[in-house]
Amino acid sequence: MDLFNNLEQKLESILKKFESLKEANATLQNSLAAKDQALKEAEASLDKVSQEREVIRQRIDKILKRLEILDKGESA
C-alpha cells in the first residue's frame, strides 16, 4: 500500500510541476507576443522616419541643384 501512496505523491508532484510550467509558458508566450507587437511598431516607425528622411534628402538635392543653376547663371 505504501508503494501506491508513494506513486500517487510522485504523480501529484509531477502534475503540479506540469501545471506550473504550463502557466509559465503561457506567461512567456504573452510576453513574446507583446514584444513582437512592440517590434513591429518600432519597425513601422523606423520605416516612416526613413521615408521622411528620403523625401527631405530629395528636396535638399533639388534645392541645391537650383542654387547651382543660379550660381552658374550669375557667373556667366
Q: What is the mean pLDDT of residues 1-25?
A: 96
For 18-42, the pLDDT digits (tens) are 999 999 999 999 999 999 999 999 9
Over 90: is that where the pLDDT of 10 sits? yes
Over 70: is that where the pLDDT of 48 sits? yes
Over 80: is that where the pLDDT of 76 sits? no
Task: Determine the Cα–Cα distance for residues 59 and 53; give it in Å rounded to an integer.
Answer: 10
Over 70: is that where the pLDDT of 13 sits? yes
Task: Determine the Cα–Cα distance for residues 22 and 16; give it in Å rounded to an integer.
Answer: 10
3-state secondary structure of 12: helix
